[in-house]
Amino acid sequence: MFEAHDVLYLYAETPLHVGMGATIGVVDLPIQRERVTHYPCVPGPGLKGALRAEVELAGNEAGNPEVVDVFGPETANASDHAGAVSFGDARLLLFPVRSLRGVFAWTTSVPVLARFARDLAAAGIAGLPELPPAPRTSSASASQWATVNAGGSIVLEEYCFSHFAEGDTQARELAEWLAEHALPASSEYDHYRKALTARLVILPEDEFRDFTQVATEVVTRAQLDRDTKTVKRGQLWTEEMLPAETLLYAPLHFTKVRRNGSAMSGMEIGKALRRLSPGRLQIGGDETIGRGIVSLRFANGKEEQE
């Protein structure tokens, strides 16, 4: 059974493509999505693999006992024991959308926030402010109305939302909490923490889901023939990506070490993972063209609050 818990926040600094390996509609390479909600996500196994690879590249050789305790042995010795960290899927929390006023806004919905609150509670993390009431259809709450007010409405992409003022106070408190606890803590994020407090917009559930489906980035890529400098036959394709400035989070759960001869507890495993992890990580495809760079931040789990 799990002995300790944490939450890992992932802030996309460049567009992120974690593909599902199948063509849907006009996009050749769509991103991975949850089956029921259809929200973008990053599967836990992919997150674990990327983090382990980065840890080992940072000078922690594959045979390092601490790395093996945390992540488990290499594939050739997988039958020896499992790792001591359970990685949940990285779930969507804030999704950036173009705004007529303020350039862009971070959007979310009450159901997304409610699931986030449930995951925080499961990890023993307290302090999340009270959730706002859900906005009515075609309306939205804003953490700072003046920042996104475009002629009396909030205009996101081509869609216009009336002001749902009943939720503004809670939206502002949530924005301040997320800026302090979820965005990266380093100084280069000072501007973004301030911007988030002013540009959080809470949308109705259906409208938020629609933006996560139609407001992702879709780019066209091609491979050129070296001699003719024209597109090779069959080498023109489209990729879907989560836009930069997206915020996701992944629940983490820790057990005691399963390797004989080690007595590390789940709490110690959590501390080891935080100590080993880099500040930034590359996830998903297109590594050679700079896609998938995310900044990492761990929340304090229950084991550090007691």
d(CA 279, CA 301): 18
Q: Is residue 170 part of a domain?
A: yes
pLDDT value for 270: 92
Tokens standing for residue 243: 């836009």
Q: Is residue 8 part of a domain?
A: yes
Where among 215, 234, 255 does a domain terminate? Answer: 215
Count of Cβ atoms closer than 10 Å to residue 61 Cβ: 7
Provide DSSP, 93-153.
Answer: EEEEEEETTTEEEEEEEHHHHHHHHHHHHHTT---PPPPPPPPPTTEEEESSHHHHEETTE
Helix (H, G, I), strand (E, B) or coil at 276: helix
Q: Is residue 236 part of a domain?
A: no
Q: Is residue 119 part of a domain?
A: yes
d(CA 81, CA 59): 23
What residues pair up with 248 in beta bridges, in sequence order? 10, 92
How large is the C-alpha radius of gyration of the chain? 21
d(CA 19, CA 12): 16
Q: Is residue 232 part of a domain?
A: no
Taking alpha carbons only, the member of 259, 161, 158 closest to residue 202 is 161
Taking alpha carbons only, the member of 213, 201, 241, 210 closest to residue 42 is 241
Supply the range of the domain harboring residue 172.
95-215
Pair type for strands 103-109 and 200-203: parallel
Q: Is residue 223 part of a domain?
A: no
Same domain, 142 and 209: yes
Same domain, 104 and 167: yes
Same domain, 76 and 110: no
Same domain, 121 and 204: yes
Q: Is residue 2 part of a domain?
A: yes
Q: Who's near 223: CB < 8 A, 6+ residues apart?
A: 231, 232, 235
Q: How many domains does the chain contain in total?
A: 2
pLDDT value for 20: 73
Where among 195, 215, 235 does a domain terminate? Answer: 215
d(CA 132, CA 113): 9
Pair type for strands 4-12 and 103-109: unpaired
pLDDT value for 152: 93
pLDDT value for 24: 63
pLDDT value for 67: 87
Same domain, 100 and 190: yes
Same domain, 107 and 196: yes
List the pLDDT tens digit at each of the 306 positions of the chain.
788 999 999 999 999 999 876 666 678 888 999 999 999 999 999 999 999 999 988 765 556 778 888 888 776 666 677 888 999 999 999 999 999 999 999 999 999 999 999 999 999 999 999 999 999 999 999 999 999 999 999 999 999 999 999 999 999 999 999 999 999 999 999 999 999 999 999 999 999 999 999 999 988 888 887 777 777 877 787 889 999 999 999 999 999 987 776 778 989 999 999 999 999 999 998 888 899 999 999 997 444 443
